[in-house]
Structure 1
C-alpha cells in the first residue's frame, strides 16, 4: 500500500512543498509547488514575510487536497536561528526579523561583557556568530522591539509555521540547537543565558524531538486545503538536520559534506564535543535526529563560483555549468590555493577582482584567465575540505572511513573527484535531495513505516543512486 507524506522545505531564498510516495520500500518525490522567499526591507530593518510563506504552503497543500491524496502527515524544515513572536491573543506580534539584519553586528561583544565568550561556548557548544538567536534577542531587547515586548511566546520559524497550521506551539530540538541558548548535554534551554539577554525562558514552549506530533491541521486549514485533519509532525526542523538524517551511510564511521552555495562538513556523534581544541577550531555542535549531535564546521562552498558567474555575466560572458566543468578540467592545476573563507570573499562587488587582488596581496600567482580562475576555485575548495576533514579526524571519537556529499553539490562530478583526491578517502555522492528525504523519513518513522535512524538510511539507500569516487593512489 502506498503511503503519502508532504515535506515543506524552506530556504533563505526559496521554498518547496514536496509530495513523497513510499511504496514497496522505495521513495518517489514530486515538487507540488515551488516559490520564492524574499526578504522585506522596511525602515532599514530586514524581515521575513511569514504570511506570504504561509499562503504558499497552503497553496501546496491545496494542490495535494485537490488530487484527493490521502496524506499521512506534514512536516516543515527551514533555516536556523530566526524567530517569530506570538502575542497573548494568539496572533503574530509583527514579522520575524531576518538574520541578515545588521542590528546584531555588535551584540555578541556586548553579551560577552556579561558572560565571557569561552563560557558561552562551554555551555552551548555553538560557534560564535553575530546572528545566533541569543544575540538577536539581546539586540531586540536593546532596541525595545515591540514584537518581543508584547510576546507571550517565541517560536522558531518551522515551529511558527506549524503553529499557523495547527494552533499548537512547540520548540523543536534541532532548530533550538542553533540558537546558542540550549545546553547540548541536557537538550534543554539554558535559562541563565536567556536571563542575561533579558529574556524569560518561559517564552519558549515545550521542547520536542523529531518525530513527535505537533498537532492536527486546524479545522479552517483542513477545510481550505481539502486534506482533512492531517497530523503535522515535528521533523528535524533545521534543514541541515534533515539533510544529515538522509545520509545513506551503512555505519557511523563517516563524515558528511552538505554541499551547495555554502558547505557544512561534520560528523554525527551521540554527545557534544566541547573542548579547547573544538573552541579554537570554531567547530559547532547542533542537534540531529534521535538526539544525536551534528559536530560540524561551516565552509564557503560554490558561493565563489556563483559570484564569479554573476560578475562575468555583467561583462557579457555567460558560462553554463557544463562549459565551466570543461574549462576547469582543461586548465592546469593551480600553483597555490586561496582560503575560500577569507573575509575578502564574503560579499565583494566583483568576485574575480577580489580573488586576483587576494592572490597578489599574498604573493601568489594571479590567474591569467577565467579558466585558470575557475580551476583555482575548485582546487581551493577541495583543499579546504581536506583541511577541515583533517581537523575533524583529530577530534572524532572514531576513524572516518568515507565522506558523504549530500545536497546540490552531490551532482558536481568534477569537484567530488577532486575532493576524493585531496582528502584521500572515498567520496560517496548523493542524495541531492537530502533535506527533503530526511524530512519525509522522519515522518515515515513517526507513522511506523521504519523503526530507527539506521532503517531510515537503509530505506534511502534502496531508493536512490549514489556514486563513489575513489581517491587516486
Structure 2
C-alpha cells in the first residue's frame, strides 16, 4: 500500500454510486472526479437491524428500500454532472421471495433466526454434511441460504423465485434479476467443481432449480436504471452493475495489494479470515477444518473461515445499555487498556455465541463449562468482558491464519485488516503479536471502495469480468481510490 498509485481518471467524468447494505447500518456513497481526481463521499447512512415478528426474525425490507432511495436522491442532488453507474453490495445468504411479477411476498428472514438451526439438523438426516461439504467446498454454517430455503419448504411456503438482498435492490432499480457469483457461492448451492448451481443439492433438498436466478460474474452490466428515479436528470442514462455483491468479496477487491504473501481479515460483525487463491482449495484436511471457498473478482477464490467478530462486543453493549449503561464501543475499548491477559479464552465460534441476546450470560455459560469463574455481568464488569473478547478473537485469528498457511502453502508476511475492525488498535496489536504478521490497516469502507473499483473496471476496461486481467484492473482502480 506504500506504492504511489498511477494517476488515472475515467473517460467519462460522471459520478458513480456505491450502496453497501450492512446488518447494522447501510451506506450510500458517491464517487466524483473534480479536476480529474477521485473524491468519495458518504452521502447517506441509515440504521439497520433485524426485527422480531410473530413468525420469526426478519429484515425490515421497506425501511431498507426507503433508505436506499433517499440516499440515491441525495446523491443525484450533489452530482449535476449526472450519475454514470450504481452498484450494490451487502451481506450474503439472506434473500427476498418474489411473486411472478417480481414483487416481494414477505419480509426476508434474518440469518440469525433459529429456524435455520432446525432446518440444518433435519436436512442432514438424509443429506450428509460430509457430502454437502464435498460437493460445494464451503464452510458448514446453519446461516447458509440452502438451510433457509429448506426451512421455507418445511414451513410449506409456496415455491417462489428469490433474489439475494443486493441483487434484489438492483432489480428494484430496474436491473435484470440475477445471482451474482460471489454472493451465490455463500448459498451452499454452488458446485465447487463446475462453479454452477448444484443440481444434486437442489434435488436432494427438494428445491426447484428452475426458480434460482441466472448466475453472473462480478462486473456484469444489468441494464439501465428505470422507474421514478429515472425522472431525475442525474439518472437519465445510469447503468446498473453487479459488483462483487457479497460485501466481503467487495472488501477484498478494495485491497490494493499484489503478490502471494498477504492474507486478509474483513473485520466487522463477522470476521472473515483467509487469503485469495487462484482456484478453490479443497481436500479432506480442508473439509475437516471447515474452511470455505467463495467467489472473488476476476474468477479468483476467497479461501477463508467465518469467525465471530464484533458481534460479541455489540451484543454485550446492547445488554449493558438495557441496564442504563451507554458508553459506546470506543469507550469500552479504552476501558480495558492495561488489564492483564485473561487466564481462559473463549471459543468465539461456539454456536451459542452467534445468537442474539443475553451475550454476557452466554459468555459466562461457556466460561463455567470450561471450569473458569464467571465474570461480573453488570456494567461494572464491562472492561473484563471486552478484554476477554479481544484476546479471544486475536487468538482465533492466529489459529485460523496458521491453518491458511498449511492449506495454501503461502508464506504469509502481511495481513490486511479492512472494515470497521481496521480502527480497533488494541485488537490489531494483539493480532500482530499472536500471528507474527505485519498488520496493515486498510480502509474502514473497503467494501465501498471495492464496489467502486469494480464499477470502474467494468466501464473502463474491455476485459472479460471472469478473467484475471479484470481482477488486475480492479486492483489498479482500488489503488487509485485509496
Q: What TM-score do you get using the length of structure 2 for normalisation?
A: 0.87
Match of 1:230 among 208, 232, 238: 238
1:32-89 deviations in whole A, cap 9, x for unaligned?
2222334354432333343432232222222222332421100011211122233233
Q: Evaluate the alpha carbon distance shift between residue 399 and residue 51 of structure 1 in structure 2; reply closer, same or farther with a 3 A threshold.
A: same
Distance in 2, matches of 1:95 and 1:328, equals 40
Distance in 2, matches of 1:137 and 1:261, equals 23
Match of 2:390 among 378, 384, 387: 378
Q: Evaluate the alpha carbon distance shift between residue 306 and residue 39 of structure 1 in structure 2; reply closer, same or farther with a 3 A threshold.
A: closer
C-alpha contact (below 8 Å) 1:332/1:372 kept by paired residues:
no
What are the within-5 Å matches in structure 2 for residues 80-229 of structure 1?
Answer: 80-146=92-158, 148=159, 151=160, 153-223=161-231, 226-229=234-237
Across the two proteins, how many residue pairs are aligned to each other? 460
Partner of 1:460: 478
Match of 1:243 among 242, 251, 254: 251
438-447 vs 303-312, which moves further: 303-312
Q: Evaluate the alpha carbon distance shift between residue 25 and residue 298 of structure 1 in structure 2; reply closer, same or farther with a 3 A threshold.
A: farther
Distance in 2, matches of 1:117 and 1:322, equals 40
Shift of residue 26, structure 1, vs aligned partner: 5.4
439-448 vs 451-460, which moves further: 451-460
What are the within-5 Å matches in structure 2 for residues 259-408 of structure 1?
Answer: 259-347=267-355, 350-356=358-364, 358-364=366-372, 370-408=382-420
Shift of residue 314, structure 1, vs aligned partner: 4.3
C-alpha contact (below 8 Å) 2:456/2:477 kept by paired residues:
no
Shift of residue 350, structure 1, vs aligned partner: 4.6
Partner of 1:467: none
C-alpha contact (below 8 Å) 1:3/1:23 kept by paired residues:
no
C-alpha contact (below 8 Å) 1:61/1:227 kept by paired residues:
no
Partner of 1:12: 23
Distance in 2, matches of 1:304 and 1:58, equals 31
Distance in 2, matches of 1:323 and 1:48, equals 29
SS in 1 for 2:460: coil
Q: Evaluate the alpha carbon distance shift between residue 99 and residue 375 of structure 1 in structure 2; reply closer, same or farther with a 3 A threshold.
A: closer
Partner of 1:433: 445
1:429-449 deviations in whole A, cap 9, x for unaligned?
111111111111100101116
C-alpha contact (below 8 Å) 1:26/1:463 kept by paired residues:
no
Partner of 1:43: 54
1:105-141 deviations in whole A, cap 9, x for unaligned?
2222322333221111111012222232112222212
Q: What TM-score do you get using the length of structure 1 for normalisation?
A: 0.89
Partner of 1:420: 432
C-alpha contact (below 8 Å) 1:191/1:200 kept by paired residues:
no
What are the within-5 Å matches in structure 2 for residues 251-262 of structure 1?
Answer: 251-262=259-270
C-alpha contact (below 8 Å) 2:332/2:382 kept by paired residues:
no
Structure 1: gaps (5+ residues): 465-473
Q: Evaluate the alpha carbon distance shift between residue 88 and residue 354 of structure 1 in structure 2; reply closer, same or farther with a 3 A threshold.
A: closer
Query: What RMSD over aligned residues (CA atoms) do the two structures have, in Å?
Result: 2.6
Match of 2:77 among 66, 70, 73: 66
Distance in 1, matches of 2:140 and 2:57, equals 21
C-alpha contact (below 8 Å) 2:266/2:419 kept by paired residues:
yes
Q: Evaluate the alpha carbon distance shift between residue 326 and residue 91 of structure 1 in structure 2; reply closer, same or farther with a 3 A threshold.
A: closer
C-alpha contact (below 8 Å) 2:96/2:107 kept by paired residues:
yes
Structure 2: gaps (5+ residues): 1-8, 463-468
C-alpha contact (below 8 Å) 1:212/1:234 kept by paired residues:
yes
